[in-house]
Structure 1
Amino acid sequence: MTARRVLVVNPNSSVSCTAAIRDAVAPFALPGRARLDVVSLAEGPPAIANWRDWHDVAAPLCDLVGREDADAYVVACVSDPAIDLLRSTTDRPVFGALRSGIATAVARGERFGIIAFVAASVQRQRRVLQAMGLEARSVGSLPLDLPMEVLTSAEGPRARLVAVGQELKARGAEVVVLGCAGMAAHRGFVEAAIGLPVIEPCQAAAAQALLAVLG
């Protein structure tokens, strides 16, 4: 059997964010059965920080999917840019990190909260929650408002991540979703600090993609 290929695309151009995603999904690879290739979008902005960034990556993502053959695709951004568009241009499965992360969260608990990247992320994430019919199960989406390069640093965002996670817990969250791929390296630290399951959405999407191509 030829090994299946899952292409994991970071739609921003941040090298440190792509590295964080690669490290997060690496343990999910199945040698000889499936590989997870992580790439960044060279044309992408440094981060998907606002609606313009979200819309601007749609066409380049379509071009990338058109030239990169894979058995499944993961858009590794927790705002799910271009998911519906990509699904209309390929017959292969396309997974969004946000949708996958939320689906995993509601399998772990009744109420969940999201640690958002910036304030502008909150509206985009609310739209997805509404589309999934799960807004009522969210206790909120609270932004860090930190630059991407701080978010992906070893220690820089951790105090803020824990503080926001604790606030979501106080609001009744039973599960916390990391709301940006740049937070990936901090999942275990935050989980231990706040005492709740913490979902890293790129891992959730990779797991669902593997199930789709190997099931």
Structure 2
Amino acid sequence: MRIVVTNCNTTQEMTEEIVRGARAAAGPGTTVTGLTPSWGPESAEGWLDSYLSAAAVLDALRTYEGPPYDAVVMAGFGEHGREGARELLDVPVVDITEAAAHLACLLGRRYGVVTTLERSCGQIEDSLETAGVGRNCVAVVGTGLGVLDLGDTDRTEAAFLAAAERARAAGAEVLVLGCAGMTGLQRVVGEKLGVPVVDGVGAAVRLAESLVGLGLTTSRAGSYAKPVRKRREWGRGVG
């Protein structure tokens, strides 16, 4: 089985970190390939970045020329584009936001999300509502760190733990890493917090494997029907 994991930004180092986390979570026989958009924001933080990122990721998937794959994991927490990717592709598309939230709901009655900048919180809340898992989320808390700051491991851990306490005080029984760049942090903070910590990348990879293994893919009956055939302009080219 081959899974393509798409970064939501153009930072190749982050793609490599996400792929490492995805491979660590994948089962035997699963190959993980990373995909970095050739254009778009270097980090997705806010509505403008998110919409730009969505178009860039869809373009990257549209023009992909690598080995055939069985599923796609979209590694942008709260970012847009998952619905468009499901229309575009004939394989299962699993978004890390949905995946993490669904698994969190299996582990506790209420969960909280710890993310990067506060400006991303509303966007994540909307994404969870759209996915139908918003009612179980008691808090989306920012650490005050930008996506590109996450490489500072000690600073990230301290900021995460402080934000996690706020989420727990709000009633969270399970915590979710609210950024693909936080992948791997769950192993460091889980014991210290005393509650399950869900990494969206790992959750999405495992769910993608399950869908492929069960022979399931996106329904074409209605919402995710194939796009209407028409002329579309993709940047300077024609699609």
| Same fold? TM cut 0.5 | yes
1:41 aligned counterpart, secondary structure: coil
2:124 aligned with 1:153: no
Whose radius of gyration is greater, 1 or 2? 2
1:146 aligned counterpart, secondary structure: coil
Distance 1:99 1:199 in 2: 12
Deviations 1:94-141 (A, max 9, x none): 111101110010011001000022122111111122223333321110
Q: How does 1:1-215 map to 2 (within 5 A)?
A: 4-31=1-28, 33-68=29-64, 69-215=68-214
Name structure 1 gaps, 5 residues minimum.
none
Distance 1:132 1:98 in 2: 9
C-alpha deviation, 1:37, in angstroms: 1.0
Aligned equivalent of 2:229: none
Distance 1:19 1:154, change over 3 A: farther
Name structure 2 gaps, 5 residues minimum.
215-239
Distance 1:42 1:156 in 2: 30
C-alpha deviation, 1:192, in angstroms: 1.5
| TM-score, normalised with respect to structure 2 | 0.83
Q: Give the structure with the higher percent helix.
A: 1
| TM-score, normalised with respect to structure 1 | 0.91
Distance 1:161 1:30 in 2: 28
Distance 1:57 1:149, change over 3 A: closer
Cα RMSD, aligned residues only = 1.6
Q: After TM superposition, which residue ranges in structure 1, 4 or more long, deviate above 4 angstroms?
A: none
Maintained 8 Å contact 1:152/1:185: no
